Amino acid sequence: MFKGYGHKFSDEKFECQTQGVISDSIVQNWTLQALACYKIHSNCDLCSIKKAKYSFKCQMRRIVDILLKTQGLPDEKAIIEQSKKSKIDEVA
């Protein structure tokens, strides 16, 4: 994931080296970013990823669709708690 840090990138978006195939690991659980995408109804104009002007093509809309089909509706409280726990585990 490359960010533009002062460099001017064209509007071209780059597919990751996985040729658009989404890793199974990213669709195992809801994440804060997936929850945010879900809450804005996958409206890229409202997304922090788009606003950050990363040079990759966001796949979050597809990830949210898969999560809805495989994991069901997100549980915001559980996602936030898991995120907090993960951050604590990273520090330890």
DSSP string, 34-89: HHHHHHTTT-GGG-HHHHTT-SB---HHHHHHHHHHHH-S--HHHHHHHHHHHHHH
| pLDDT one-digit tens code per residue, 20-42 | 678 787 888 999 999 999 999 99
Assess contact for 34 and 64: CB atoms under 8 A. Answer: yes
Share of the chain above pLDDT 90, in %: 40
pTM above 0.85, yes or no: no
Assess contact for 23 and 31: CB atoms under 8 A. Answer: no
pLDDT at res. 56: 73
At residue 40's C-alpha, the angle toward residues 38 and 46, to 5°, is: 130
Q: Return the number of other C-beta atoms located less than 10 Å from residue 37's C-beta.
A: 24
Instruction: Say how far apart CA 44 and CA 52 lie, in whole Å.
Output: 12
